[in-house]
Amino acid sequence: MKRFSCDEWVELVTSYLEDGLDESTRHVFEEHLAACECCGHYLHQFRVTVTALGTLRPEPLPGQARERLLAAFRDRRNSRVEEPRSS
Quickly list DSSP for 24-60.
Answer: HHHHHHHHHHHH-HHHHHHHHHHHHHHHHHHTPPPPP
Using one digit for the tens of pLDDT, what is the confidence trace for 2-25?
788 999 999 999 999 999 999 999
Whole-model pTM: value is 0.62
Using one digit for the tens of pLDDT, what is the confidence trace for 25-61?
999 999 999 999 999 999 999 999 999 988 888 888 8
Contact 39, 10 (CB under 8 A): yes
Closest to 43 measured CA to CA, from 82, 6, 86, 83: 6
Packing angle, helices 37-54 and 23-35, rounded to 10: 110
The per-residue pLDDT for 1 is 60
